[in-house]
Amino acid sequence: MYRPAAYWTKKVQVKVESSIDDDVDILPVHLDGWKNASKADKSRIAAKWRRDREVEYLDKLSALLPFPIDVTSKLDKGSILRLTITYLQLKNDVCRITGESRPQVFSQVTHVIDQHKTDHTYSHSNSKRDSGNMNQMLKVNEPELMLHALGGFLLYINRKGRILYVSENVNTHLGFHQYDMIGKKVLAFIHHDDHKELTKQFMISMPPSMSLPTTDEVDENEDEDPDSINPDTFVSQRPAFYLRMRYQIMKKGSKTKHTGYLLSQWSGRIRLAPSKSNPGHSSIVGMVTICRPLQSTSLLEIRLDGNMFMSRHTLDLKFTFCDPRFSLTAILAALMLVISE
């Protein structure tokens, strides 16, 4: 049946206007002059009211994220929602791996983050701490020290190739912030020619003789201690491969960023869990890896850490130059101790 354009226009207008009047639960009806205001004023006031409430909810949501205050205060709306969704996905994967409905690891992380937020101002204003606070500080920094010893950063991606977690020291190796990478596709940080190499790691086959327990058997272990869970419940694959990862470095004294690709070694574990949709079969949960950027063979491009220095020698091993950060006398004294031993 043919209808003129005016008919449809009028019908749409009536529907929109009625929705404004009926949506009284989220409108500022308590304000003076709301009942006598025109429909255009009501629409404008309602839009501002929703925006204010949206900002309020986003502030509350950002406060719940496991990040320090100085990080969450810089996040925009899209970043807050992206990090929130990623955190929930990460929690779901950990629940599948550990077999717990509320994994203890998340309560420990929340406690550490809350303690960091509480002591953030105090740690900068007081340089001296007692032995108890110092031991607590060392416990908080223990994961960071472990990653520094491994010479890389920790990365966890799900089976769809989305980054659910990356350690904070990724900024040291690649120049990207932790909150900028979480929730994004890992392929965006990998060279296009290496995409197939990463995809190939998820194409694993189970031996015919290997079988996994059903979902009901896994659910029976939810109340058990995580350390007592049978390790055969989840099968691990340990891949080791090399990829070129994108990096960006801000040069000192310049606002320009130097970008490129850095060869890195990936070594970790692919976790398989019993499939819920297909009992008796397994499905990939994700991959946890340690990414170690490899130094270039060129001596001019080697990064000098705090425990490294540069020196030049003659053919008879006499010092002709030494890094000014180190005392030549101290170096010679250390060498004498080594020789005497």
Containing 110, the helix (H) or strand (E) segment is: helix 104-125
- Cβ pair 114, 69 in contact under 8 A: no
Compute the distance between CA of residue 303 and CA of residue 92 in angstroms, rounded to an integer: 38
Q: What is the pLDDT of residues 61-90, one digit of tens each?
A: 888 888 888 888 888 889 999 999 999 988
Of residues 284 and 28, more confidently modeled = 284
Predicted confidence band of residue 192 (pLDDT cuts 50, 70, 90): very high
Range ranked top by mean pLDDT from 39-48, 261-270, 332-341: 261-270
Confidence at residue 235, expressed as pLDDT on a 0 to 100 scale: 44
Confidence at residue 102, expressed as pLDDT on a 0 to 100 scale: 62
Per-residue pLDDT, averaged over 214-222, amounts to 39
- Tell me which amino acid residue 106 is: F
pLDDT > 50? residue 191: yes
Q: What is the pTM of this model?
A: 0.61
Q: Which of 229, 210, 219 is nearest to 280 (CA)?
A: 210
Q: What is the pLDDT of residues 42-64, one digit of tens each?
A: 777 778 888 888 888 888 888 88
Of residues 63 and 14, more confidently modeled = 63
Compute the distance between CA of residue 174 and CA of residue 258 in angstroms, rounded to an integer: 11
> Which of 189-193, 231-235, 250-254 is predicted least confidently?
231-235
Measured in degrees and rounded to the nearest 5, phi and psi for residue 288 equal -105, 125
Q: What is the pLDDT of residues 220-245, one digit of tens each?
A: 443 433 333 344 444 447 888 999 99
Predicted confidence band of residue 162 (pLDDT cuts 50, 70, 90): very high
pLDDT > 80? residue 298: no
Q: Which of 276, 291, 285 is nearest to 158 (CA)?
A: 285
- Cβ pair 206, 284 in contact under 8 A: no
pLDDT > 70? residue 210: no
> Which of 90-94, 230-234, 251-255, 324-328 is predicted least confidently?
230-234
Domain spans, the chain: 5-61, 65-220+230-301, 311-340
Per-residue pLDDT, averaged over 145-170, amounts to 88
Range ranked top by mean pLDDT from 111-115, 210-214, 271-275, 323-327: 271-275
Per-residue pLDDT, averaged over 290-303, amounts to 68
Per-residue pLDDT, averaged over 177-200, amounts to 92
Q: What is the pLDDT of residues 272-295, one digit of tens each?
A: 777 777 776 777 888 999 999 886
Question: Cα dist. 299→152, 162, 220, 243 in Å?
Answer: 20, 35, 57, 22
Superfamily of domain 65-220+230-301: PAS domain (3.30.450.20)
Confidence at residue 81, expressed as pLDDT on a 0 to 100 scale: 92
